[in-house]
């Protein structure tokens, strides 16, 4: 692999992938934290609403505010679990940082690059392997969820 091909790979594939994983990690992190804080706050507010809201004396039903807040807690909790924002955030951040580390190892000529005769090809091979591994992990995790099977400890 010559200089031009390697530079093109770095610009068009490697940097693009790092940017993608970084953006996805940030988005998933923010969504996760927003949903978690909403669930925490609304969960704490629900008992207060129950205590402060008068129950309709004729029907004995709770106020709509209590029902709405409790429903939002259920929706937030279910969304967090169903869409796996925390897991995706951690996986994307891990992949992003591992990809970044790979360039440092390449530049410093350490780890597997220390003894390699073709460092550029080894770099491309390792980067593509990391990307492929993350994609496979994502597919396996989401297929298990679709089929209602618990995640295997080996999949992590």
What pLDDT was estimated at residue 144? Answer: 73
pLDDT per residue as tens, the chain (156 positions): 899 999 999 999 999 999 999 999 999 999 999 999 999 999 999 888 887 776 555 556 667 888 899 999 999 999 999 999 999 999 999 999 999 999 999 999 999 999 999 999 999 999 999 999 988 877 877 777 667 655 544 443
- The domain tally of the chain equals 1
* Main-chain dihedrals φ then ψ at residue 114, nearest 5 degrees: -60, -40
Secondary structure class of 79 (helix, strand, coil) = helix
Range of 140's domain? 3-155
DSSP string spanning 94-137?
A: HHHHHHHHHHHHHHHT-GGGSS-S-HHHHHHHHHHHHHHHHHHH
Query: What is the Cα–Cα distance from 105 to 59, expressed in whole angstroms?
Result: 70
Cα-based angle 137, 138, 139 (whole degrees, multiple of 5) = 95
**DSSP label at 59?**
T
């Amino acid at each position: 692999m010559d200089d031009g091909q390697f530079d093109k790979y770095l610009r068009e594939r490697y940097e693009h992938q790092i940017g993608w994983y970084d953006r996805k990690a940030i988005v998933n992190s923010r969504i996760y934290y927003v949903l978690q804080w909403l669930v925490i706050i609304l969960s704490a507010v629900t008992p207060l609403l129950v205590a402060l809201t008068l129950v309709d004396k004729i029907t004995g039903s709770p106020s709509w505010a209590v029902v709405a807040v409790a429903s939002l807690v259920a929706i937030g909790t279910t969304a967090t679990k169903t869409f796996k924002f925390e897991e995706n955030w951690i996986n994307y951040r891990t992949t992003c940082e591992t990809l970044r580390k790979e360039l440092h190892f390449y530049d410093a000529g350490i780890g597997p690059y220390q003894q390699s005769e073709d460092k550029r090809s080894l770099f491309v091979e390792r980067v593509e392997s990391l990307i492929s591994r993350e994609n496979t992990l994502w597919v396996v995790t989401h297929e298990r969820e679709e089929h209602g099977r618990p995640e295997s400890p080996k999949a992590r």
